[in-house]
Structure 1
Amino acid sequence: MKRVDFLPFYLGLLALVCVSSVNAEDPYRNFKWVVTYGTVSPLGVPQRGILINGMFPGPTIYCETNDNVVVEVVNKLDEPFLLTWNGVKQRKTSWQDGVLGTNCPIPPNSAWTYHMQVKDQIGTFSYFPSLGMHKAVGGYGGFNIGARPVIFVPYLKPVAEFTLLVSDWWKSDHKSLTPFFLQALRQILDSGKSLPKPNALLINGSPRATSFTGQAGQRYLFRVSNVALQTSVNFRIQGHTMTLVEIEGAHTLHESYESFDLHVGQSASFLVTLHSPAKGYYIVASSRFTKTVLTATGILHYQGSTAKPSLPLPIAPTYQIHWSMKQARTVRWNLTANAARPNPQGSFHYGTIPITRTVVLANSKAKIGGKLRYAVNKVSHIDPGTPLKLADYFNIPGVFKLDSIKPAPSAGPAVLAPSVMGFTLHDYVEIVFQNNENSIQSWHLDGYDFWSVGFGGGQWNSTLRKRFYNLNDATSRYTVQVYPKSWSSILVSLDNKGMWNLRSAIWPRQYLGQQLYARVWNDERSVYTEYEIPPNALRCGKAH
């Protein structure tokens, strides 16, 4: 009987596996960004802004699900700098989150490289500077994640996409304001005072000069993000309805809107078909819940037409809170559509999972040492000189105290402290944001998306779950608004180990302490739950 030699077969199989492994690696997208000061004039007055590669706003990142995004940031400012990636989950690597609790700042005249994988994500996101008041003067941009070609997208394909960044703006430089403002924005906050009201809204860095051109009869995807410091906005397009198809990484049921509220830190995508007579139409963003209504406009041009848009601007609500609450309840998860994976979003039955822990977080305005601060459950966060993540990783004592913030509101005066709350990996947590103030709040959680299951007026209590919670088709998202004298509840599966920033997206409040860090942990040290500290990680404070 002839002996069969299997060695060539196994060698060939091994070679095939090796080649497949190489080909199967997700693509890399590499960027080099040089951060500088530069002159910008959004309101016709030259001011010093923060530019990325000479651009204000910064460049938009376009990538696909699972891509590896590598961004080398060269800091040419005269002070430290960090970027954070709003809504990008940073799976198993809070090392890349770009906030002071996880990263040492990039020193002046030096560079640091972020390595991110946009694992299992699609949708509209953004980035912005996370240190001090840098965000007030630029450095922000869009971050759009498209679906892989093999994944079905549950809406008709647009012929093009437009990215719109809505921001608020002050008339003067953040270091040397005009005498009208007397001091810099951060000096005002450091002195214990509130910021003056912004002077304007901008769309892509301009109050009225941004324009887009499309062809009659075609459909376009408008990706809109509110990157303002403190202003909720209403967005609309004159003469056109907008079909909501995605909000903060989740595909939604296709509801049509004449206008739509976006609170600070939130993003959404709308399909718009150019079906009106060929001419120009105003794109409008106006402030919400403000006594003085600020308005920014852009123009949607029909290709081939020179006709200008005509007044009046399309109307929108200004202060009507119940209108906003009613609209928010119309946003629903598309249960049969997939997101980044082939399986339907609705196959994850978030409403049937037992809650392992409930946390109630109450924001408040406080005076500490005679100065204005903002607190959560009576703790106003301060950043220690050593990032919390580094202190935790290297077991450095004296940097923070775990559970320095309580899981429910308490009596007593507010205190200054690094605010860290401990959670167990894979906890399924209900977080209630209780807002007893007269102003709207906006909360963002790094490292996760969550289900925004309910909101209502007054004080939250457990009996409200049955009446107000949507446990079937609430959307997953990464930022949630809390209306004045109201509460909002979220459910979140804590499956991403690390140190994660839970903060007010309203930046002056974040700057003055309305934030905390969630330490999501188990005792297993494994790359299956968390990646090791990057080789290029910067060291500072006690972590030298």
Structure 2
Amino acid sequence: MFMSWVQMLLFVSLLFPTSVQSEIRHYSFTVVLKNTTRLCATKPIVTVNGKFPGPTLYAREDDNVLVNVTNLIKDNVTIHWHGVKQLRTGWSDGPAYITQCPIQPGRSYLYNFTLTGQRGTLLWHAHISWLRSTMHGAIVILPKKGVPYPFPKPDKQKVIVLGEWWKSDAEAVINEALQTGLAPNVSDGHTINGHTGPVPNCSYGGAYNLHVENGKTYLLRVINAALNDELFFKIAGHDLTVVEVDAAYTKPFKTDTLFLGPGQTTTALLTTDRGIGKYVIAISPFMDTVVSVDTFTGTGYLIYNNTLPSIPTTMTTMPPVNATWKTLVFAESLRSLNSKQYPANVPLTVDHSLLFTIGVGIDPCATCSNGSRAVAAINNITFDMPTIAILEAHYYGIKGVFTDDFPGKPLMPYDYTGVQPTNLQTMHGTRVYRLAYNSTVELVIQGNSMLAPESHPTHLHGFNFFAVGRGLGNFNPAKDPKKYNLVDPVERNTISVPTAGWTAIRFRADNPGVWFFHCHLEVHTTWGLKMAFLVENGKGPDESVVPPPRDLPQC
């Protein structure tokens, strides 16, 4: 028996009661195709409500958010609310076949979650195949009413979404790559709020324009929604003061260049103190190895009011594509605010000490052009996607969907960043790592030298974590932990693991459910660089996964 829309709202309101200060925010997302022009090509793209980027979701800390998603395209879809902790509400997290079956064509699903203890900038995006190339948007979580920012109040706020663009259909790009076993074609350009800026030999010259008043302070909410590129962001002639990343406040620091991996957000203050003028806003990729990357620089313009068209544009110089030093300086500058109101609750004791090696490999493939296929793996295990959602299988005790034997360390240790093994073949499986409720985890993510080592932005669903250490080469368990920052490490949901290096994170497993962990370079996720943590229920209903909603999609 189906419930009416009003009955559904009443049901979820009773299931998730809100506090006196919080509100219920209602959104309707309709997934549709829309023709658009970028980089001299007109093509239909998958959008939400016909917008690219999609609509911005606004709410306040502790608000209950209801988003009714209706699928009007021919493909299955899901939406992931990237960085939302989803306390006990994994059914609304969104990764296909991990926490839900996809929303089938012509069907709807009501995502229901509360923004408990979160404020800042996040993003939402499709979480199935490569649909997130155009199906993405911003989440802006304002502080509770009457609660000030821990930095000077800005005069205005602007959302800036960075992305990638293919002249052809991105789904066709990855499907062709999977058939041939080769790497997919890189994108053809980068976008700022859906615009590439001027393109050589192309009549289309649309660019994003940020109009500003002199003497004001703007809060820029910058989001990297690109599929496969880590990006530099810069505004000619202006510095930016970083105050928050991934919806967690930071100690303010000034920089001329932001660095964001896919899925990461950076919120920064911009002071417009140049009087008049037109200044380039530019984004360009980072890649410090031999892997091919789209080198197109996307451009927009910051334009002061009363600037005459005759005034020349102030240009800027972007960091080189392999500017590793720039990324390291930016990462080392990030520190948690760690104030009385916003403490850094870093776990000081560890129940689970894990080492995950990540990278790519080669598997045999009889139908591929070279007789082999590029794959990716964690601890040499390439993740096989199930046909039933793992959370549903866990909740109902359905056997044969997954195993809970994911190894906490490599099964065969080797020199991870040295000479690569002769056998590049990986194992396969749908494995999870089981965690007791409220246990503490230290996870060292170790990049390896398989084929072409590169920087990996990795994302953990369901939690924020603290980045307590990082380094180049192999992690040394005897020496490196002595250099950890356990006082004010940056708090994030997505972190870059340096090329042929490591990053150490800590988190508390206080959110029961099944939580995806994967590289946020979509090509690596597609190739299998992913796994899931299964966090057991604690004591009583307040420490347990809530029952699945009645409209949960079926496979």
- Kindly tell me: are residues 248 and 279 of structure 1, through their superposed partners in 2, closer, same or farther at Cα, counting changes over 3 Å? same
Question: Which residue does the alignment assign to 2:446?
Answer: 434
1:184 partner amino acid: V
Question: Which residue does the alignment assign to 2:411?
Answer: 410
Tell which deviates more after alignment, 406-415 or 426-435.
406-415
Q: How does 1:366-405 map to 2 (within 5 A)?
A: 366-370=361-365, 371-403=373-405, 405=406
In structure 2, distance between residues paired with 1:294 and 1:58 = 23
- Kindly tell me: are residues 291 and 373 of structure 1, through their superposed partners in 2, closer, same or farther at Cα, counting changes over 3 Å? closer
SS at match of 1:329: helix
Task: Tell me by how many angstroms 1:191 deviates.
Answer: 3.4
Q: How does 1:393-542 map to 2 (within 5 A)?
A: 393-403=395-405, 405-411=406-412, 413-437=425-449, 438-522=453-537, 524=539, 526-540=541-555
SS at match of 1:46: strand
SS at match of 1:391: helix
Task: Confirm or deny that 1:202 pairs with 2:203.
Answer: no
Q: Deviations over 1:212-271 (max 9, x none)?
A: 112100000000111111111111111111000111121111110011211121111000
Task: Confirm or deny that 1:35 pairs with 2:31.
Answer: yes
In structure 1, distance between residues paired with 2:294 and 2:92 = 39
Tell which deviates more after alignment, 25-34 or 378-387.
25-34
| Residue 176 (structure 2) aligned to one of 176, 179, 187 | 187
Task: Tell me by how many angstroms 1:22 deviates.
Answer: 8.6
In structure 2, distance between residues paired with 1:464 and 1:536 = 51
User: Superposition RMSD on alpha carbons, in Å?
Assistant: 1.8
2:170 partner amino acid: H
- Kindly tell me: are residues 223 and 147 of structure 1, through their superposed partners in 2, closer, same or farther at Cα, counting changes over 3 Å? same
Task: Tell me by how many angstroms 1:417 deviates.
Answer: 1.4
CA contact (8 A) 1:233 1:287 kept: yes
Task: Confirm or deny that 1:90 pairs with 2:100.
Answer: no
Q: How does 1:94-243 map to 2 (within 5 A)?
A: 94-100=90-96, 101-136=98-133, 138-174=134-170, 184-208=173-197, 209-243=207-241
SS at match of 1:95: helix
CA contact (8 A) 1:282 1:309 kept: no
Q: How does 1:330-345 map to 2 (within 5 A)?
A: 330-336=333-339, 343-345=341-343
Q: How does 1:265-276 map to 2 (within 5 A)?
A: 265-276=263-274
Task: Confirm or deny that 1:360 pairs with 2:358.
Answer: no
SS at match of 1:325: helix
Unaligned runs of 5+ in 1: 1-20, 176-182
Q: Deviations over 1:330-373 (max 9, x none)?
A: 1111122x6xxxx3324x3x16x211111111113122332221
In structure 1, distance between residues paired with 2:71 and 2:509 = 33
Structure 2 length normalisation: TM-score? 0.87
CA contact (8 A) 1:62 1:145 kept: yes
- Kindly tell me: are residues 33 and 357 of structure 1, through their superposed partners in 2, closer, same or farther at Cα, counting changes over 3 Å? same
In structure 1, distance between residues paired with 2:294 and 2:384 = 33
| Residue 283 (structure 1) aligned to one of 267, 281, 284 | 281
Tell which deviates more after alignment, 461-470 or 194-203.
461-470
- Kindly tell me: are residues 291 and 104 of structure 1, through their superposed partners in 2, closer, same or farther at Cα, counting changes over 3 Å? closer
In structure 2, distance between residues paired with 1:315 and 1:373 = 32
Task: Tell me by how many angstroms 1:539 deviates.
Answer: 2.6
In structure 1, distance between residues paired with 2:218 and 2:355 = 41
CA contact (8 A) 1:455 1:468 kept: no
In structure 2, distance between residues paired with 1:163 and 1:98 = 23
SS at match of 1:88: coil
In structure 1, distance between residues paired with 2:170 and 2:522 = 14
SS at match of 2:238: coil
Q: Deviations over 1:300-327 (max 9, x none)?
A: 1212323455253233243121332122
In structure 1, distance between residues paired with 2:286 and 2:400 = 43
Task: Tell me by how many angstroms 1:287 deviates.
Answer: 0.9
In structure 1, distance between residues paired with 2:506 and 2:312 = 44
1:97 partner amino acid: D
Task: Tell me by how many angstroms 1:127 deviates.
Answer: 0.7
CA contact (8 A) 1:133 1:186 kept: no
Q: How many residue pairs are counted as aligned between the two chains?
A: 503
CA contact (8 A) 2:187 2:294 kept: no
CA contact (8 A) 1:122 1:145 kept: yes
Tell which deviates more after alignment, 320-329 or 512-521.
320-329
Q: Deviations over 1:53-83 (max 9, x none)?
A: 1111100111110111111111001011101
- Percent identity for Structure 1 against Structure 2: 26
Q: How does 1:228-267 map to 2 (within 5 A)?
A: 228-267=226-265
Tell which deviates more after alignment, 270-279 or 412-421.
412-421
In structure 2, distance between residues paired with 1:366 and 1:490 = 25
Q: Deviations over 1:386-433 (max 9, x none)?
A: 100111111111111112x21111238412211311111111110011
SS at match of 2:549: coil
CA contact (8 A) 1:189 1:508 kept: no
Unaligned runs of 5+ in 2: 1-16, 198-206, 366-372, 413-422
Q: Deviations over 1:104-149 (max 9, x none)?
A: 100101111101111110111001111111122x110001111112
SS at match of 2:511: coil
Task: Tell me by how many angstroms 1:184 deviates.
Answer: 3.3
SS at match of 1:324: helix
- Kindly tell me: are residues 238 and 507 of structure 1, through their superposed partners in 2, closer, same or farther at Cα, counting changes over 3 Å? same
SS at match of 1:510: helix
In structure 1, distance between residues paired with 2:179 and 2:492 = 32
- Kindly tell me: are residues 321 and 468 of structure 1, through their superposed partners in 2, closer, same or farther at Cα, counting changes over 3 Å? farther
CA contact (8 A) 2:455 2:497 kept: yes
Task: Tell me by how many angstroms 1:516 deviates.
Answer: 0.5
- Kindly tell me: are residues 22 and 410 of structure 1, through their superposed partners in 2, closer, same or farther at Cα, counting changes over 3 Å? closer
In structure 1, distance between residues paired with 2:90 and 2:73 = 25
- Kindly tell me: are residues 466 and 33 of structure 1, through their superposed partners in 2, closer, same or farther at Cα, counting changes over 3 Å? closer
- Kindly tell me: are residues 379 and 56 of structure 1, through their superposed partners in 2, closer, same or farther at Cα, counting changes over 3 Å? same
| Residue 78 (structure 1) aligned to one of 74, 77, 81 | 74
SS at match of 2:313: coil
In structure 1, distance between residues paired with 2:137 and 2:435 = 32
Task: Tell me by how many angstroms 1:173 deviates.
Answer: 1.7
SS at match of 2:177: helix
Task: Tell me by how many angstroms 1:382 deviates.
Answer: 1.5
1:503 partner amino acid: H
In structure 2, distance between residues paired with 1:146 and 1:464 = 41
Question: Which residue does the alignment assign to 1:53?
Answer: 49
SS at match of 2:164: strand
2:295 partner amino acid: V
CA contact (8 A) 1:368 1:415 kept: no
2:513 partner amino acid: G
Q: Deviations over 1:459-518 (max 9, x none)?
A: 112123344311111111100101111000001111111100001100011011110010
CA contact (8 A) 1:419 1:515 kept: no
CA contact (8 A) 1:381 1:418 kept: yes
